[in-house]
Every structure is written in C-alpha cells, then in structure tokens.
Structure 1
Amino acid sequence: MTTLSALHREARDRLAEAGIENAALDARLIVEHFTATRRVDAIRAPDRTLDPGIATAVRDALRRRIAREPVHRILGRREFYGLDLKLSPATLEPRPDTETLVDLCLPFLRERAAAGGVSRILDLGTGTGAIALAFLSQIPQTTALCTDISAEALETALSNADINGMKGRFGGIVSNWFEAVDGNFTLIVSNPPYIPTRDIGMLASEVRYHDPVMALDGGLDGLDAYRSIAAGAGRHLEEAGRVAVEIGFDQRQDVIGIFEAGGFALKGSAKDLGGNERALMFARL
C-alpha cells in the first residue's frame, strides 16, 4: 500500500525529473485533489495508507502533467480572486495576471456603490465568468450580463455563477461582441483574444494545445478585438461609464490609439505582477 507521504514524494520527483516548472506545487495540488487531503494532513498523518485506486488516479494525472497538460486542466477547476471556478475545453484558464484588470476597475465600482448607485457590468467574451464574478463577489450593488461566442463557455460561466452563489445577479447570452447586446452599462470589460495569429504556434504547449484558439487569436496584429470593442462600446455605455480591457505586454500604445480614435480617453492603467502593462481603462472624451 502507498502512504500519503510516499505519494507526495513520488509526485514531486516525477514532475521535477520531467522538467516541469513549479514541480513541487503541481505535485501537491494533484495529490491533494485526488486524495481529498490538505497540506496539514501530510504533516499530521504522513503514514496514512491510500486505496490503490487513488494512487492510480494520481499517477494517471502525473502522466498528463508530464505530457504538458496544465495542472488546473487536470483538476478541472482553478481559483480566481478567491472564487472556485470550473474549467471547460471552451474556456481560457483564468490566470493571476487578469486579476490586475479587476483591481483596476474595483475603485470605480466601489465609488459608484458608495454613492448609492447600482452598477451594471457587461463582460465581453466571459469564458469561465471569472472577471464578472470577481466584481459581483466584491460589490453587492452590481449585476452582470456576460457574453461569449461559445455556448459551451457560457454554460460553464453560468454554472460558476451558481456554484459561487451569484446566479441571481449573473446573466449570459451568446453573442459575438455587441451583436446580441441590448441596453447600457456602467462598466464594459473584456479580456479579449490578443495574440497575433503568427505567434500562436510559439506559445507554450500548456497554452497552445489546451486553451481554445478562438480565445487566443487576436488576428493578424492581435488587435482585432480592441477595434470591435472600441467601435461598439459607445452605444452601450452609460454617460459616466468606463470601458476596461486586458492587453498584451507590448500593446499599450496601439490599444490607446484605437480607443482614442473611437472617442475615448485613457483614465487608468495597471501593471501585472511581472511589471508589464496589463490593463487599461477608458471613458468617453
């Protein structure tokens, strides 16, 4: 029989030998998930024996990670802004860099809430629903309408809203950007596809083979989505509303230019943990 400590050690060693970055963390996440244990259990009960079927499930997961399937794809879920979110093949895996976009927008929404206003958020290309749900979790005086071109992605987002107790304030429609959207919003937000088509093949295997290409490919220059958002946002934005987008590390000036040409002025920006410009916020000129 395999013990909990032995399985942790085996997982760490196998991932490290395969050259997996953050091998120790990924090993712990996999073992804890399939054994339904926590870090404290490995300390308090290292000699706990495990059912052979559980050890087999862990080893199968390790083989998938060694083949460069992302650890959170294997687990089927990922945390974002303190929320537990399900993943599906139709959704991007939400990443910590995108929390920068949430952080940039929250002061604006909090100011609105403090003044007694109710904010209506439009999240374009919602994927898992991560961005909108982060706002709803932080500010009760908000509702969100979320769009995605993929019905499967939208189903995942609606499920995440239900899991996190926010189904009543979260709506979703299948839409290509603003195509099926009606009404005006306090905040229009998006983490759109922004990788130039030519660069898709150079992405890490974990991204290239496991994130949906439709959610990555931003067209020839990576800026197609920003043109669509800037062109349509004015028709759906409240008078004092804001538009905020995540961007690629080298796209700041190009995206600012697109929004300025569409009648918007930059009102704020934020850098991610790596020091890269990651999020921009705009208001009408």
Structure 2
Amino acid sequence: MRKSCRFRVLFFVLMILVLTAVQVLAEKAPGHYLDAERYTLANGLTVIVKNKPSGGQVLVNMWIRTGSYYEEDQYSGIAHFLEHMVINRGTENIAPGDLPRAVDRIGGEQNGSTRYDTTNYYIQGGSGDLGEMLELIAEMCFRPTFAQDQIDEERPVIEEEILRGQDNAGQQLFDATMAEIFKGTNYSRSIGGTNETVGNCDSQAFRDFHGRYYLPNNMILILTGDVHSAEVMPLVKEVFGDFAAGEVPAAP
C-alpha cells in the first residue's frame, strides 16, 4: 500500500472512532450539561453562561474564530505566535510578563491554545475574583501592544517549539497526515509555522491579523462554574460592551 493511502486509511479509521465516541458520550450525557444560557451583546459578542456548582470556582473562556487556517502563507504560524504575545508580552495596561503574576495573585491559572480554526484563552479562579478575570481576558484579547522588541524576544520561544515538534514522532505523523489529506489547502500547514515564516512576523503583521479577527462579533465568551447570569451579565456588558464590532473577512 502506498504511503499516501496508508495515511488516508489511518485518518478515516480515527475519524470513525472519534465520531462513535462522540455519539456515545452525547447519548449518555446528563441533560444539565447542556442547560446553558446564551446572550449576544450589541457589539455581537456571544456570551454563554453555565451555572455548575464548582466549589466557588469559575472558568472564563474566550474563543476567537481564527487560527492557522486563516493565515497568509508568508505569515504561517502567526496565530500561534500571537497567542504567545497576548499572554506573555504585554498589553496597553499590563507590562510584559505581568499577566501570569496578576493571575497568580488571585490564586488562579491561565493559558491559551491555537488550532486550525480557533484560538482560545482562559483564566480559572475564585468566583469572588470574576470581575478581575473578565478585565484580564478583555485586556488580553482587545489591547495587546505587539511591541517589536517584545516580538523579537518571544520569537526564540516559538522557534524552540517548532524544533521540539520536529523531534516528536507523533507530531511529525500528524503534520504529514494533514499535509497529505488536505494538500493544497491551509489545513496542510503546521499550526506552528516554520522558522522562516515566524521570522516574517513583525509588529505590523500582528496588528493586521489581530485587527481582522479579534473582534467581539467574532468571539464567544463562555463562563462556567459558580456563576449566575443575572449577576454576571451586567458585569460582562460593562467590561466588553464598548469594544467595536467590525467586518470579519471570509475564510480563505
């Protein structure tokens, strides 16, 4: 069997297993897991609130409808690089490196992830600190600065992650499978990009990508844990309501 055929067979077998598992879980899932409230702010931000007793904990989760699929070829990897910049390299009101410390001060945790079609940032902490967590998420998503010196300092971190991926057999198999199955599309590229393409990412490239996709009408804010919509929605409107909507480009 040719190599490309083996990849196709592997992919479809995995897809069957995943879809079967999803169906089984959906059939077994208690109804209360689906009992969430959905709102849309005037600027288009979608807000989902799910009350679930969690020992006083709340998860603030922001999803952006963009990822590596939306990148231009010469800037492949910029979505993931931007995620690093947002978390590690400062905003209009948070100095570089201070975001993790701000989350630590409230006893919380934070992280982010980049996929082909989505980017995600979350902060988890006590319900009494929800206001501060919302402010921090807003700062991360809407007010990053993309200073060139900070970009240059973060780039070696990205290059190290690319190198680790090249040394990881599982990652290499995944990338090769995607490249074969989705040949000729943006899904064929590695999410992290290459040293060359991340080297092309300067301050203007970040501002352009962020300006196109980091818009409230292109985001979903999910709040889960010890939260009640009657209490939290006025706060959400106060923190996020003034960010302007924009025209989101069509997917490539």
Q: Which has the higher contact order (CA 8 A, sep 6+)?
A: 2
Give TM class, smaller chain.
under 0.3
- Larger gyration radius, structure 1 or structure 2: 1
Q: Between Structure 1 and Structure 2, which shows a larger proportion of strand residues? A: 1
TM-score by length of structure 1 reads: 0.24
Task: Choose between structure 1 and 2: higher helix proportion.
Answer: 2
Scaled by the length of structure 2, the TM-score of the pair is 0.26
